[in-house]
Chains A and B, each alone.
Chain A
């Protein structure tokens, strides 16, 4: 059982926006602004798309955005494209010097 809770799947049509939630506790998401998001295509390594809650690494599309409220972080993808179909994982720092991840969300572009 993962430390952070994500929905198993979400879907949307091209051009639409979707949001993926990631729920933790006050010991991880709620206590620190160290939330990251990763995109993983089948058979590939994860790719960092959001760090420190709402920052995008260089080269990542501005269609990806992150936010946080209390113990829940969110990833929003706007203007959905076919290539966005992938698995998405949230990650966070957790008290007592550890890292934790969510169970992953499969995004289907209809």
Chain B
């Protein structure tokens, strides 16, 4: 069965960077795009970006451009999301979310499997 297992909670100081991992299993790693979505405490979902595992191309949300980097390691079936220059407003649960079979715009909407989430706390 499809599983997305994320790394554990992190506490970071303002200005630092955080790297969250998402290990995929139960499906063909290079066949499905992966998105990153975050949720601030008590708030809604916010789309951050997408990575196509083959060939590793990315598209980032305008709000995060210049601060986020999404990568993947095909040898370990793991995705990574690094967010830099952290500020208190980045405190949130970060999710990886897979898109199933899709084409065009549906690749940005239909998230069929989600990781368990990683809480990132930014505090001095």
Contact = CB atoms under 8 A, between A and B. Distances in A.
Contacts of A98: 47, 59, 61-62, 108
Interface residues of B, number: 26
Contacts of A57: 112
Interface residues of A, number: 26
Given A93-B106, A98-B59, A46 B111 contact: yes
Contacts, number: 74
Nearest to B63: A98
Most B Cβ at <10 Å: residue of A32, A35, A93? A93
Nearest to B50: A99
Nearest to A2: B44
B25 interface: no
A73 B44 CA distance: 17
Contact of B45 (A46, A48, A93, A94): A46
Interface in A48-105: 48, 51-52, 57, 89, 91-94, 97-104
Interface of A: 2, 32, 34-36, 38, 45-48, 51-52, 57, 89, 91-94, 97-104
Interface of B: 35, 37, 43-47, 50, 59, 61-62, 95, 97, 104-112, 114-117
